[in-house]
Amino acid sequence: MPRIRPKKVTIFLEDKILAGVIMVQGTASNVGKSLFAAALCRLFARAGRTVAPFKSQNMALNSFVTRESLEIGRAQAYQALAAGIEPTVDMNPILIKPHSDTGAQIVVMGKPVANMQVGEYHDYQTEGMKIALASLARLRDKYEIVVIEGAGSPAEVNLRDHDIVNMSIALAADAPVALVADIDRGGVFASIVGTMELLEPSERDLVIGYVVNKFRGDPALLGSGLDFLRERTGKPVLGVLPFLHNLRIEEEDTLGLEDRAGGVDGDVRISVVKLPHLSNYTDFLPIETESGVALRYIERADDLADAHVVIVPGSKSVLADLAWMEAQGITNAIRAARDRGAWVIGICGGYQMLGDRILDPEHIESPRESAPGLGLLPVETRFGGDKVLTRNRATCLLPWATGLAADGYEIHHGRTVRTQAAFQAAFTAGSAEDGASSSDGRVFGTYLHGIFDSDPLRDAFLAAVRRDIGIDNKPTAPFDPLRDLDRLADSVSAHVDMKEIWKAVGYDFG
């Protein structure tokens, strides 16, 4: 590979050379922006550059806790992993966590500041833009390259006056923009041309070209279409990325579950309830990748009939999601699954739902003040007080994995207490106990996200389930979050004009 050297032309602020930047925007949500940005972080880091991700405003229920006990979007934490650095709050200064169609919790610099309706948040965005640009400036002062990610589409004309995440950031940072489009969903040429037509001239000038994502078939068939895009818009296609089958890497939000909803063939059938406000479904990615495991995201009670394991995941709106499960008949189906011997697991909000009762007298998450839970664990949860944000190294107390360690993190408002003192906890973290468990360990709840990342604990869990259903155990594959990320990065390197990407961030091949 030719030597890469920095250009002499740089941008200065307070007499400091700032990092080169490139921005990844998309023609729509879930076209591959987050993954393409992660791949660029990985490629820049593998080439020996210091690189950091940045997204000024992230709307997602998948979140992560930094070492400083601050909350950011999980996508930026994953991109930081790709870059080989520790996630920080500057990488995602504003996180929006929807709890209804029009309302959300607003997390600023890692801490929740308020629950806001859409209009209230629009009024806040002037201040939000200042916060975002300050975070970006700090990253550009510290690293050699910053990969900026946009959100949704930059062509949402109704949101232009309130934009603090797409072209407003690109213009403020003078950032070249790579526009990603998903050909697998159809209409890729119209989406690219339409997006460009709706941009202002100064915004179009920042676009350096297009990345066509998830292509299946013979690339030669695309030739006339790629020529059309150049002729129509004056911009080149930087690359065509093939559809990568069985790619198991973290998506930004639950839109990414559409490709996973059917599960895969396997002897162990695990059903995760796809709650309307499901959060941190990345908890289950290590299980998805296991041979012989069929993990499905379900929305109907009938889909639990043959499950060996039922998991109720995290939720941003616990009482609302509990009411939804009751209306769908899923709560009764979970109880029936337990009665026939299935395992039942609750994580974070799911743990709260497995208990006897949930109280929200201050309306932290819901207009409802209380609701009965599923009654599978003798615990009661009350919402109130400061949000718990912490990372823990925990020790498992469950009988099938006693003494095994797992690294996890907590993100929750509720405080849960066991109503039967003799009932055992599921984990300990330092001197504190976490969660609750049945005596056989086949029904348990925990606040710890990420426990299945632990290879020994995941191995013990699957071995115990297989013993229950009378099949031979299979060794688990070590969970390596970089394995498929490197596979994605290699694909980007092979199919995208990386010389143009390096040129965009201020480097030449010489």
Q: Give the β-pairing of 4-6 and 63-65.
A: unpaired
| Same-domain pairing of 439 and 494 | no
**228, 285: one domain:** no
Residue 257: the pLDDT is: 57
Task: Tell me: do 230 and 367 sit in the same domain.
Answer: no
pLDDT class for 256, splitting at 50, 70, 90?
low
Residue among 410, 348, 409 at smallest CA distance from 379: 348
Mean pLDDT over residues 21-42, rounded? Answer: 96
Domain annotation covers residue 257: no
pLDDT attached to residue 67: 94
Could you give the CA distance from residue 5 to residue 506 in angstroms, rounded to a whole number?
A: 9
Task: Please give the tally of structural domains in the chain.
Answer: 2
pLDDT at 12 over 60: no
Angle at the Cα of 41 from the Cα atoms of 35 and 43, rounded to 5 degrees: 105
Specify whether 498 is located in the same domain as 384.
no
The range of the structural domain enclosing residue 243 comes to 21-247+485-505
pLDDT at 275 over 80: yes
Structure tokens at 273: 């309830």
Q: Tell me, what CATH number does 385's domain have?
A: 3.40.50.880
Contact at 8 Å (CB) between 452 and 461?
yes
Residue at 252 is within a domain: no
Which of 9-18, 23-32, 230-239, 462-471 is the least confident region? 9-18
- Confidence label for 261 from pLDDT (cuts 50, 70 and 90): very low
pLDDT computed for residue 259 by the predictor: 52
Please indicate, yes or no, if residue 258 is contained in any of the structural domains. no
Residues 490 and 448 in one domain: no
| Dihedral angle computed from the Cα positions of residues 116, 122, 123 and 124, in that order, rounded to the nearest 10 degrees | 70
pLDDT top residue among 395 and 367: 395
Q: pLDDT band at residue 179, thresholds of 50, 70 and 90?
A: very high
Assign residue 236 the CATH number of its domain.
3.40.50.300
Which pLDDT band holds residue 13 (cuts at 50, 70, 90)?
very low
pLDDT score at 232: 96
DSSP string, 140-169: HHH-SEEEEE--S-TT-GGGGGG-SSSHHH
Q: Name the pTM for this structure.
A: 0.88
If asked whether residues 440 and 410 sit together in one domain, one would say yes
Query: Could you tell me if 340 and 468 are in contact, meaning their C-beta atoms sit under 8 angstroms apart?
Result: no
- Catalytically active residues are 348, 449
- Examine residue 160 and state whether it is found in any structural domain, yes or no: yes
Mean pLDDT of the chain: 90
User: Do 433 and 294 reside in the same domain of the chain?
Assistant: yes
Query: Are residues 351 and 449 both part of a single domain?
Result: yes
What would the pLDDT profile of 88-139 be if each residue is shown by its tens digit? 999 999 999 988 777 889 999 999 998 898 888 888 989 999 999 999 999 9
Q: What gap in Å lies between CA 405 and CA 455, rounded to an integer?
A: 10
Predicted pLDDT at 217:
85
Residue 404 lies in a domain: yes
- Residue 251: is its pLDDT beyond 70? no
Could you tell me if 156 and 288 lie in one domain?
no
Residue 1 domain-assigned?
Answer: no
User: In this model, does residue 19 exceed pLDDT 80?
Assistant: yes
Whether residue 85 is found in the same domain as residue 168 = yes
Q: Does the pLDDT value for residue 497 go beyond 90?
A: yes
Q: Assess whether 294 and 426 both reside in one domain.
A: yes
Question: Do 115 and 207 belong together in one domain?
Answer: yes
Q: Which residue has the higher pLDDT, 362 or 37?
A: 37
Residue 481 has pLDDT above 90, yes or no: no
Q: Given the DSSP bridges, would you call strands 103-108 and 94-98 parallel, antiparallel or unpaired?
A: antiparallel
Q: pLDDT at residue 39 above 90?
A: yes
Is residue 10 situated within a structural domain? Answer: no
Residue 184 lies in a domain: yes
